[in-house]
Amino acid sequence: MKRKLEEENMEIVWQTPANPPHRLDYIFRNGRRHVRPYYFEFIAHVKNRWAGKTIVDLFTDEFKGRSHDYYVSAVKCGRIRVDGEMVPVSYIVKTSEKISHFLHRHEPPVLTSDVLILQKEPDVVTVCKPASIPVHPCGQYRKNTVVGILEAEHGLAPLFRLLILARSASKADFFRQQIEGGMIKKQYIARVAGEFPEQEQVVDANINHNAREQRSTAEVGACGDTTPIKGKTACTKFTRLSTNGVHSLVLCEPVTGRTHQIRVHLQHAGYPIANDLLYLSKHVNDRSASILASDFCENLSTEHVDSNEDFSIDPMCTNCPDLVPKGYNVHEEALWLHCVRYSAPGWTYECPYPDWASLS
C-alpha cells in the first residue's frame, strides 16, 4: 500500500500482515540473520478502557516504547491515524474506532542457522528449528520466524502452528488430538554443567511459573509440611549420554509439559544447562562456571551492526540509524537445549544433533 505523508513529503510503501516475507528481506552479518527494516501498519481497535483519552495520551499510556513527543509528531504528520484519517493531537478516541500506526519496523536478529527441512509431505513439513528463532510471528518478530523464513526461502505457506508444521487444517487437528491424548513423546538433549550421574534420574517436582518475571521454580514439599505445594505437577526423566568431567550431555524426556520444565528440573537436580544464564545456580562448581564464563567471552565478538548501508534511514524512526532495535542484546547465545525426536503411534521424526553436543 502506498501512502504519501503530507508533512514529510515522502511516498512510502507500507506493509501489512498480508504482505509475505521475501528472500531479499534478510541481511546476514557476523553470525546473525537480520531483517531489513521496513514500513509496517500496526492496527488496533479502541477498547472500552481507552475511550475518552486523547489519541496522544492513549499511545503514551499504552505503548510505552516511544516518547510523548514522538507520538505528538506521529499524529501531526499522519503516521498515526483514526479510521484512515488524520486527526489533531487533541482528538478524543471512541470505542471500536480503528487506529493505525505506520512505523519503520526493526526486528531483533536471530542466529543465521538455516531452517533445515527434514521431511516434506503433502500435508506436513518437519523442520529442525534452530535455537533463538520464534516459531510464528509474535511481539517484535514477524519475518525472523520459522514460519516467515520457510515462506521466504521455500515458498511454504500457509503453515499451521506446530513444531511439526501441518500444511492443512485437518492434519493440524490430527496432531492436536494426539497431543491432547498424551500420545506424543518428545526427547531433548541438553549440555549441562558438571558430571551427571550414570543412573537414570527422575525429577518429580511441581513447576511454579511467574509470568511477570518470565521465570519458573521447582516446588517440593518439606517432610511433615502439610502446606499445599505451589505450581503444577511435573516430571522429567534424565539419562546421561556422555561427559568430559566438566559438562555432560543428557537425554531429557519430559513426562509433562510445563513452562521451562526441563531447564528448571535440571537446575533442581544440581546440573543446570551450562549456558542458561536464567537458571544457572550457585551449586555449579567453580571449574564449570569459569569455563562457561570464558566460552561466553569468546563469543562476544566486536561486531558492529549499526551500518546503514543495506537499508534506508527513516527520519522519524527511534531505532535508526541502528539496524538492531534498541534494548536488544545482539550477543545472546543459543541455549544448549535441543529437541531431537518427536514420536507417536504411526510416525517418528528425528532431528540431527547441534554442534554443541560434541564434548570433545
Domains annotated for the chain, with CATH where assigned, are: 183-221+229-282+332-357 (3.30.2350.10)
Provide the Cα torsion 255, 256, 259, 261; round to 10°.
-30
Residue 293, pLDDT above cutoff 50: no
pLDDT band at 309 (very low <50, low <70, confident <90, very high): low
- Choose between 47 and 281: higher pLDDT: 47
Residues 6+ positions from 97 with CB-CB distance below 8 Å = 45, 46, 82, 83
Query: What are the pLDDT digits (tens) for 58-80?
Result: 999 998 888 999 999 999 999 99
Query: What are the pLDDT digits (tens) for 207-261?
Result: 998 887 888 889 886 665 667 788 899 999 999 999 999 999 999 999 988 889 9
In degrees and rounded to multiples of 5, residue 275 shows phi and psi of: -125, 25
Residue 292, pLDDT above cutoff 60: no
Strands (E), 137-195: 164-166, 185-193
What is the predicted pLDDT for the residue at 56?
Answer: 96
Residue 99, pLDDT above cutoff 80: yes
What is the predicted pLDDT for the residue at 262?
Answer: 94
Residue 2, pLDDT above cutoff 50: no
> Using an 8 Å Cβ cutoff, are 291 and 197 in contact?
no
Query: What are the pLDDT digits (tens) for 23-39?
Result: 889 999 888 899 999 98
Buried b (16+ CB within 10 A) or exposed e, 309-345: eebeebebbebbebbbbeebebebbbbbbbbbebebe
Q: Can you tell me the mean pLDDT for 114-142?
A: 80
What's the rounded Cα separation, in Å, for the pair 182 and 296?
Answer: 38
The answer to whether the pTM exceeds 0.75 is no
pLDDT band at 184 (very low <50, low <70, confident <90, very high): confident
What's the rounded Cα separation, in Å, for the pair 313 and 290?
Answer: 42
> Using an 8 Å Cβ cutoff, are 39 and 13 in contact?
yes
Which three three-digit cell numbers place residue 75?
499524529
What is the predicted pLDDT for the residue at 303?
Answer: 41
Q: Can you tell me the mean pLDDT for 54-58?
A: 96
Residue 47, pLDDT above cutoff 50: yes
What is the predicted pLDDT for the residue at 332?
Answer: 61
